[in-house]
Amino acid sequence: MRQRASSRAAHGRQAFGSAADSAFAIGRAALSGVPERLQATSLLTDNAHCVRTETSVPQEEPGFQRARLRDRLKKAREGAGLKQREVAEQLDWSPSKVIRIEAGTVGVSVTDVRVLAEHYGITDRAQVKVLTDMARAARRPPWWDQYRPWVNQDFETYLGYESSASIIRNFEPNFVPGLLQTEEYMRVVLNRLNLGGEKTEQLVQLRLERQDRLIQTDGPKSFFILDEAVIRRTVGSPETMHKQFEKLLTVNEMPTVTVYTVPFSAGIYPRFGSPYALFEFPEDEDEMVVYLENPDGSAILSEKALGRTSQRRPTDYLDIFWEVEREVATGVTREFLFGQE
């Protein structure tokens, strides 16, 4: 029986990037996953407020660390019964400084983190160390730093979520997901976008490095659902497709990767025409992020940023993914890929 991942909160919308970044949107690296309940992190209560009990900082990307630190500091302030304006007055800071720190638009120094922790009544040394370690981690360059000239800020946000996720779920109706593509397949796709030789080469190398980091036996749980159109559409030569099919079968044997297909005979099913990717995170069971590709553009929706609005949220897309997985998807097989060879 499937377990629904534990409670989540909130949602935020963000444009995903320029048309040039459709090089990534086509065959997105995202994945999908068998429903699993993430382990909850215990809470340490101190008077009226609480912070999560942890002794170390997980190896997440700087942008994600910044978001986690922002969330912890905001919760600690609210737990202490203080408003942003009051904190600014009491610390002799400008109100905009507190606002920017909690919005994640600026980095926060280790010194400022210690000041805020003391002001909010966080006295446990281990907890203060977690917060200061987060501040340090948030300032280091991300692994994709060398590729920054070739991607926009929105795609950097995507990379941060992808690199930090413990579960990645992806539905793709048109192309093999980027994390599963052979180099030959991805070159055919990227060359069709007419990005220029140098940018194409950089994007190929970035995608290959993403594969090296994520498609591993110790990588995130990765689940892909591919419409049959992905299989029947020829990208490049028959030999290119043959090698691509072999790669799908190979990665499907890994303990962390599962590839499903939806045959044409399934007919119409939920969200059958639009790619989407879902990310869950190891130390934050209340957060889930979905990346959507729609005819009118792309968006990243965050469960936490959503709040209590009535807008469709990431957990709704998780339910859709599970429904497709349960009702119409089947495991990828050699017979399905190659037919009657």
Mean per-residue pLDDT of the chain: 82
Q: Is residue 57 domain-shared with residue 206, that is, in the same domain?
A: no
What is the pLDDT, as a whole number, of residue 40?
A: 24
Nearest residue to 208 via CA among 167, 247, 174: 247
Mean of pLDDT values over 139-148: 92
Mean of pLDDT values over 100-110: 87
Has residue 150 been placed in a domain?
no
Whether pLDDT at 20 is above 60: no
Whether pLDDT at 30 is above 50: no
Q: Is residue 78 domain-shared with residue 175, that is, in the same domain?
A: no
Strands (E) located in the chain: 43-46, 49-52, 167-172, 221-227, 257-262, 276-281, 284-294, 297-302, 330-331
Predicted structure pTM score = 0.75
pLDDT tens, position by position, 249-261:
999 999 999 999 9
| Residue 184: Cβ-neighbour burial (10 angstroms; 0-12, 13-18, 19+) | middle
Q: Is residue 131 domain-shared with residue 267, that is, in the same domain?
A: no
CA distance 256 to 246: 17
Has residue 12 been placed in a domain?
no
- Give me the residues paired with residue 44 across strands: 51
Whether pLDDT at 13 is above 70: no
pLDDT tens, position by position, 184-228:
999 999 999 988 999 999 999 999 999 999 999 999 999 999 999
Domain that holds residue 108: 43-139
| Residue 90: Cβ-neighbour burial (10 angstroms; 0-12, 13-18, 19+) | exposed
Flag the least confident range among 30-44, 108-122, 320-334.
Answer: 30-44
Domain count, the chain: 2
Helix axes 62-79, 110-119, angle to 10 degrees: 20
What is the pLDDT, as a whole number, of residue 286?
A: 67
Higher pLDDT, 311 or 96: 96
Whether pLDDT at 277 is above 80: yes
Q: Is residue 227 domain-shared with residue 319, that is, in the same domain?
A: yes
Of the candidates 88, 121, 139, which is a domain's last residue? 139
Has residue 298 been placed in a domain?
yes
pLDDT band at 59 (very low <50, low <70, confident <90, very high): low
Has residue 148 been placed in a domain?
no
Has residue 145 been placed in a domain?
no
**Which residue is it, tokens 């065959």?**
27
CATH of the domain at 204: 3.30.870
pLDDT band at 44 (very low <50, low <70, confident <90, very high): very low
β pairing state of 297-302 and 284-294: antiparallel
Nearest residue to 165 via CA among 58, 252, 258, 72: 58
> What percent of the chain stands above pLDDT 70?
78
Whether pLDDT at 25 is above 50: no
Has residue 10 been placed in a domain?
no
% helix, strand, coil for the chain, step of 5: 45, 15, 35
Q: Is residue 108 domain-shared with residue 182, that is, in the same domain?
A: no
CATH of the domain at 99: 1.10.260.40
Flag the least confident range among 156-160, 217-221, 273-277.
Answer: 156-160
Longest dimension (CA), the chain: 75
Flag the least confident range among 53-67, 124-138, 199-213.
Answer: 53-67
Cβ–Cβ < 8 Å for 170, 31: yes
Q: Is residue 319 domain-shared with residue 179, that is, in the same domain?
A: yes
Whether pLDDT at 100 is above 50: yes
The DSSP string of 43-94 is EEEETTEEEE--SS-----HHHHHHHHHHHHHHHHHHTT--HHHHHHHHT--
Q: Is residue 313 domain-shared with residue 177, that is, in the same domain?
A: yes
pLDDT band at 2 (very low <50, low <70, confident <90, very high): very low
What is the pLDDT, as a whole number, of residue 312?
A: 81
Q: Is residue 201 domain-shared with residue 77, that is, in the same domain?
A: no
What is the pLDDT, as a whole number, of residue 156?
A: 87
**Which residue is it, tokens 């025409």?**
273
